């Protein structure tokens, strides 16, 4: 690519006074294309100079502008919490230009320092990832003390924009996410699924939402139990993490970030399609759960831990089933859909009574804490 073709809005984000040396294509997704840009920096002392490389991701649709901002904000948040395991972004923006057919189009871009990466081995994943999860848990603090994010992140194209309004209830947040993902799946596959298939899926999902979600998530914040909102990457599978060849550290990227329950970070490890494929991670959920329990520890009730992970995985599969692009094999998205339907049926079979089948305390922990404070105040007044 000719450096002269690089838009001034991107050039303006580079260090002042630098000179662009090379631009080479570096990666491509369903909706974006990446470039490696090497520049020459002029620094003190006078005449001293060195080369530095950047990565820019460009899309050619105006509707993708919020995606560039969301990626920037998510990556920036992670870089503040685990700086050695992320790449701090430089800038994001947009520009307008006539394409080859002389149509005026809006392009969006995201800019970050370039790192040379290689795939992580299963051994590296199992040893490093739980430590990264623990570091995020210890270092991240929700600015509102609640679950959510200050802007809407994306798990794919613009229609997959997430509703991340702040809420103190993880059950409420997760249910909202699940319904949003389900709505996208139904919209995306409306022409490919028969009416009977759509109706069956809606009925199954509604039972799942009413029974399984409350049963597995409400106990986390009741009966004296509670959880801390932590910053989540949102899509932590082996394709979004690699090893920096210069430092040997694991780097995670391409987030759809928000503050949520830490166990959701394990959602991708519950499905074979993430590790039983060429170049896959080679890790099973059981091994990741054992490593997680060793390093991070599961939240109470511990007996529900693995099923909570599988609940998060079901939501992930609902979302994934809706974004498989056209042109891919039908059995790919149908296989995802059939798999998540079986998982929903399994969990419904295990928890047929829903929250009514939970035998421990269900008094909201926040309300319980407020009651204890009120009692303490009354005792203090009685002694005066």
pLDDT digits (tens, 9 = 90+) for 362-382: 899 874 444 443 454 455 455
pLDDT grade for 103, boundaries at 50, 70 and 90 = confident
Kindly tell me if the per-residue pLDDT of 299 is higher than 90.
Answer: yes
Kindly tell me if the per-residue pLDDT of 350 is higher than 60.
Answer: yes
Kindly tell me if the per-residue pLDDT of 283 is higher than 80.
Answer: no
Residue 265, phi then psi, degrees to nearest 5: -65, -20
| Helix boundaries (H) for 88-194 | 122-139, 170-188
**Spatial CB neighbours of 138, under 8 Å, sequence gap ≥ 6:** none
Contact of 251 with 236, CB cutoff 8 Å: no
Contact of 304 with 219, CB cutoff 8 Å: yes
Residue 83, both tokens: 């700086």
Residue-level pLDDT at 376: 46
Contact of 142 with 259, CB cutoff 8 Å: yes
Q: Where in the chain is the domain with CATH 3.30.200?
A: 17-114
Residue-level pLDDT at 158: 59
Parallel, antiparallel or unpaired: strands 241-244 and 117-119:
antiparallel
What's 110's DSSP letter? E
Residue-level pLDDT at 48: 62
Q: What is the mean pLDDT of residues 321-346?
A: 80
What's 167's DSSP letter? B
Fold of 17-114: Phosphorylase Kinase; domain 1 (3.30.200)
Residue-level pLDDT at 157: 63
Q: Where in the chain is the domain with CATH 3.90.1200.10?
A: 118-368
Q: What is the mean pLDDT of residues 106-122?
A: 93
Q: Give the SS3 label for residue 119.
A: strand
Q: Give the SS3 label for residue 68.
A: helix
pLDDT tens digits, residue range 215-248? Answer: 999 999 999 999 999 999 988 888 899 999 999 9
Residue 283, both tokens: 């890790």
- What angle is formed at CA 161 by the lines to CA 308 and CA 62, rounded to 5 degrees? 155
Nearest to 178 by CA among 340, 342, 355: 340
Which pTM value belongs to this model?
0.87
Q: Where are the beta strands (DSSP E) in the chain?
A: 19-28, 33-43, 48-59, 91-98, 104-113, 117-119, 230-232, 241-244, 250-252, 258-260
Residue-level pLDDT at 249: 95
Mean pLDDT taken over the chain: 86
pLDDT grade for 64, boundaries at 50, 70 and 90 = confident
Residue-level pLDDT at 282: 60
Kindly tell me if the per-residue pLDDT of 265 is higher than 60.
Answer: yes
CA distance 352 to 225: 23
Parallel, antiparallel or unpaired: strands 230-232 and 48-59:
unpaired
Q: What is the mean pLDDT of residues 112-119?
A: 95
Q: Give the SS3 label for residue 118.
A: strand
Cβ atoms within 10 Å, residue 233:
26
> What is the three-state SS of 315-350?
HHHHHHHHHCCCCCCHHHHHHHHHHHHHHHHHHHHH
Using alpha carbons, list the distances in angstroms from residue 374 to 318, 365, 367, 381.
44, 14, 11, 11
Fold of 118-368: Aminoglycoside 3'-phosphotransferase; Chain: A, domain 2 (3.90.1200)
Contact of 68 with 54, CB cutoff 8 Å: no
């Amino acid at each position: 690519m000719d450096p002269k073709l690089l838009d001034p809005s991107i050039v303006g984000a580079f260090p002042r006074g630098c000179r662009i040396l090379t631009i080479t294509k570096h990666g491509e997704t369903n909706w974006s294309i990446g470039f490696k840009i090497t520049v020459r920096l002029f620094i003190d002392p006078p005449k001293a100079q060195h080369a530095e490389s950047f990565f820019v991701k460009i899309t050619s649709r105006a509707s993708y502008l919020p995606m560039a901002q969301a990626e920037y904000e998510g990556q920036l948040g992670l870089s503040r919490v685990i700086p050695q395991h992320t790449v701090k972004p430089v800038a994001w923006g947009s520009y307008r230009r006539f394409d080859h057919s002389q149509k005026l189009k809006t392009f969006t871009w995201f800019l970050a320092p370039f790192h040379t990466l290689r795939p992580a081995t299963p051994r590296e994943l199992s040893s490093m990832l739980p430590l990264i999860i623990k570091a995020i848990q210890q270092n991240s603090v929700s600015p509102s003390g609640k679950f959510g994010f200050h802007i809407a992140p994306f798990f794919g194209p613009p229609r997959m924009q997430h509703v991340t309004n702040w809420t103190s209830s993880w059950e409420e947040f997760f249910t909202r996410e699940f319904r949003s993902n389900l709505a996208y799946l139904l919209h995306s596959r409306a022409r490919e699924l028969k009416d009977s298939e759509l109706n069956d899926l809606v009925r199954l999902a509604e039972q799942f939402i009413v029974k399984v979600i409350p049963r597995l998530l409400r106990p986390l914040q009741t009966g004296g139990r509670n959880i801390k909102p932590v910053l989540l990457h949102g899509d932590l599978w082996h394709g979004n993490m690699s090893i920096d060849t210069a430092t040997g550290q694991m780097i995670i990227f391409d987030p759809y970030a928000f503050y949520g329950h830490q166990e959701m970070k394990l959602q991708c490890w519950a499905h074979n399609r993430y590790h039983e494929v060429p170049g896959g991670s080679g890790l099973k959920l059981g091994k990741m759960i054992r490593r997680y329990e060793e390093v991070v520890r599961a939240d109470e009730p511990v007996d529900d831990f693995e099923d909570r992970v599988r609940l998060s995985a079901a939501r992930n599969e609902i979302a994934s089933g809706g974004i498989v692009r056209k042109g891919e094999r039908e059995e790919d998205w149908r296989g995802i859909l059939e798999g998540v339907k079986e998982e929903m049926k399994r969990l419904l079979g295990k928890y047929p009574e829903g929250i009514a089948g939970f035998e421990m305390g269900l008094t909201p922990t926040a309300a319980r804490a407020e009651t204890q404070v009120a009692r303490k105040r009354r005792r203090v007044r009685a002694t005066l």
